[in-house]
Chains A and B, each alone.
Chain A
Amino acid sequence: MSADLAIDVRGLVKKFGKKTAVNGVDIAMPRGQVWGFLGPNGSGKTTTIRMICGLLRATEGEGKTLGYDIRRDANEIKLRTGYMTQKFSFWTDMTIRENIEFVARLYRLEDSRLRVDETLEKLGLTDRQHQLAGDLSGGWKQRMALAAVTMHRPRLLLLDEPTAGVDPQARRDFWDEIHHLSLEGMTVLVSTHYMDEAERCDRIVYLANGQKVAEGTVPEIITRSGLVTFRGEGQGVRRLAERLKGRPGLDHVAYFGSALHVSGGNAAIIQSAIADEAAHDVEWNEVRPSLEDAFIAMMAEAGQDNRVHS
């Protein structure tokens, strides 16, 4: 067990009744980094994060967060982490200022008045501080939540899909803020479904069906997937997609914007498949597989679509 690990958990298992939501997850995350936490719906991201910050008791497994035992020292962990929940969980019947003030008081911040003013100022919500938090738009709610959970300068930040439902510009701003916080020394674990966000992380952990199926930097994961991807562009791709899907040797066929990506483990097979469906209005090029291609292939490799809808 190393002292410079912000999160160091092994064999985390969480069962809800008969259902196993998380099944033996290990995470060893060094301090000061930004990690992405990915995986399909119901793969256990939220559940894992909750165990890391002491909000759920692990059925099995053990570990430390910021050097504190996740089972015994939940209170110490709570004092030093900021956890932004997937669903907005601030008080919608209190104003923005009242919410921020409440948080400041609970953490017993010194000069809390000043800190609240600062936070509102930095957020750009000084003018609207007396508006009910429930009346904020989705993007602003997320920004307010981020400000609230970072106000006590936590050493570890756990963000659960902080940018879901946020517009592209606001998403970019949000990520700039995350990197800024990271530069200030915070360790950040962010769960997300967006590949562009994943690419901004130092490292990513990919869960499927409660298990960790991949971990590494983005290039590592792509390389390890051993994929070859061809990109087809042009008028005729729509026609081709249906015909290419399901052909042996093609792991997946998916749109990427208006282009079609065809990926598989063997370049020759893909090339012959493309040649079979030759069309004068589609131009094919081999491209570097994207992270998304890698994930889709990984899920397919696991033998099934592991998504759990609930």
Chain B
Amino acid sequence: MGMVASFQRVIAVFMKELVQMRRDRLTFAMMFGIPIVQLILFGYAINTDPKRLPAALLAEENTPIVRTLATALETSDYYRIILQTDDPRESSDLLARGEVAFVVSIPSGFTRGLIRGERPQILIEADASDPSASSGAIGQASSILNQALRHELTGQLAHLQSSPSPFDLVVHSKYNPEGITSYNIVPGLLGVILTMTLVMITGMAMTREAERGTMENLLAMPAAPSEVMIGKIMPYVGVGAAQTLVILIAADVLFGVPFAGSLWLLLLGVTIFVIANLAIGFTFSTVAQSQMQAMQLTFFFFLPSLLLSGFMFPFRGMPYWAQVIGEAFPLTHFLRLVRGVMLKDTSFAQLQAPLLAMTLFTAIVMTIALLRYRRTLD
């Protein structure tokens, strides 16, 4: 008897939850949306052994053998040569901006030296600021190149095939020579933590007013939408600044992450990035009906940010479509900036692209927020 009564009450609560769940469309959508996004991202976009990483070929001579080596790298699936040049400034600029992961240098006189059996050098400079991205390709470099030469060195030159290999491969890991992972992770964490906390906090900003019924009062008083938005965002710019300070100190004291570049440039980037996140959070809060929904939207934004920005997995190792989506997140651009400044001493001129991208993102999102802001209770 008692059991039956209890069970009936359980059913009553169960039915009530079902009804409420059905009413809350956004939550319902998220329950399916989040797993699907996760599946696609983990299943397709993420690649822990990245292939087809962009590389620049700095070739000071252009002989058939050099062309063979270039083709071999290209067809190996590990390298994708996006630029061939004889100007070292051009190639190292690409490396500094992070547009290529490698610069493969073949000096002039390479072919002649090779034929004479002098074991000339091939230099691979790798961007080791993200150690996991470059290691696979570097490991394969020697065998790819040797393989290619084996086909080329026939007849009179066949004797060169004997080991040791006919050239001397020198790998130069730049920006993080020891390949310490935390050097890459900790600056990235700055971006991740700022995204997570700031989007969430401002996501609640308007929803809380709506949920508690104070929205009506706020709307009845003379404050323009932009005034409310800026007023609500401002305190969290301070929060973002405090978080940045804590993380930078921890990066130095706890992890010994070097700081190669300009602090001012970093602060400029952080400021734009913080505002971008606050703006997206505010926009969410004009969309969400409840604080719960604001949380879910935050998560829905945060998850792909984390996975597609190059924080968890090498950006250049993702399929092209995933990179395109990744470009839409401010975290992607912030990571380039923060890693560039801290590890590579990248200059302002070289960081214009990420700065512009984050500014553009902020402008678009703020416009949406202001358009969505309800001036009336309708």
Residue from A87, A91, A107 within 8 A of B221 (CB atoms): A107
The answer to whether residues A106 and B377 also contact, given A85-B216, A89-B214, A91-B214 and a CB cut-off of 8 A, is no
Cross-chain contact B220 with A53 (CB below 8 angstroms)? yes
A267 at the interface (CB under 8 A from B): no
Q: Tell which of A54-62, A236-244, A255-263, A287-295 binds the partner.
A: A54-62
Cross-chain contact B377 with A55 (CB below 8 angstroms)? yes
Can you give 21 contacting A-B residue pairs, CB < 8 Å? A54-B376, A55-B376, A55-B377, A56-B376, A57-B376, A74-B376, A75-B222, A85-B213, A85-B216, A85-B217, A85-B220, A88-B213, A89-B212, A89-B213, A89-B214, A89-B215, A89-B217, A91-B212, A92-B212, A103-B221, A107-B221
A90 at the interface (CB under 8 A from B): yes
Chain B proximity mask over A48-90: 1 for CB below 8 Å, otherwise 0: 0010011111000000000000000011001100010101111
Please give the number of chain A residues whose Cβ is less than 8 angstroms from any Cβ of chain B in the complex. Answer: 21
Min distance, Cβ A153 to any Cβ of chain B, angstroms: 14
B16 at the interface (CB under 8 A from A): no
The A103-119 residues at the B interface (CB cut-off 8 A) are 103, 106-107
Find the B residue at minimum CB distance from A16. B378
Min distance, Cβ A269 to any Cβ of chain B, angstroms: 48
B375 / chain A contacts, CB cutoff of 8 Å? 74
How far apart are the CA atoms of A52 and B377 in the complex, in Å?
13
How far apart are the CA atoms of A91 and B378 in the complex, in Å?
22
How far apart are the CA atoms of A227 and B376 in the complex, in Å?
42
Chain A interface SS verdict (over half): loop
How far apart are the CA atoms of A74 and B378 in the complex, in Å?
14
Q: How large is the interface on B (under 10, 10 to 19, 20 to 34, 35 or more residues)?
A: 10 to 19
Residue from B215, B216, B221, B376 within 8 A of A106 (CB atoms): B221
In the complex, besides A55-B216, A78-B221, 7 extra interface pairs with C-beta distance below 8 angstroms are A54-B376, A55-B219, A56-B378, A78-B220, A79-B222, A85-B216, A106-B223
Cross-chain contact B376 with A83 (CB below 8 angstroms)? no
A57 / chain B contacts, CB cutoff of 8 Å? 376, 378
A54 / chain B contacts, CB cutoff of 8 Å? 376
Min distance, Cβ B367 to any Cβ of chain A, angstroms: 21
Min distance, Cβ A87 to any Cβ of chain B, angstroms: 5
Find the B residue at minimum CB distance from A85. B216
Find the A residue at minimum CB distance from B228. A106
A55 / chain B contacts, CB cutoff of 8 Å? 216, 219-220, 376-377
Find the B residue at minimum CB distance from A145. B217
How far apart are the CA atoms of A105 and B251 in the complex, in Å?
41
Cross-chain contact A90 with B217 (CB below 8 angstroms)? yes
Chain B proximity mask over A17-61: 1 for CB below 8 Å, otherwise 0: 000000000000000000000000000000000100111110000
B212 / chain A contacts, CB cutoff of 8 Å? 89, 91-92
Residue from B213, B223, B377 within 8 A of A50 (CB atoms): B377
A74 / chain B contacts, CB cutoff of 8 Å? 375-376
Residue from A83, A87, A91 within 8 A of B220 (CB atoms): A83
B214 / chain A contacts, CB cutoff of 8 Å? 89-91
How far apart are the CA atoms of A13 and B224 in the complex, in Å?
26
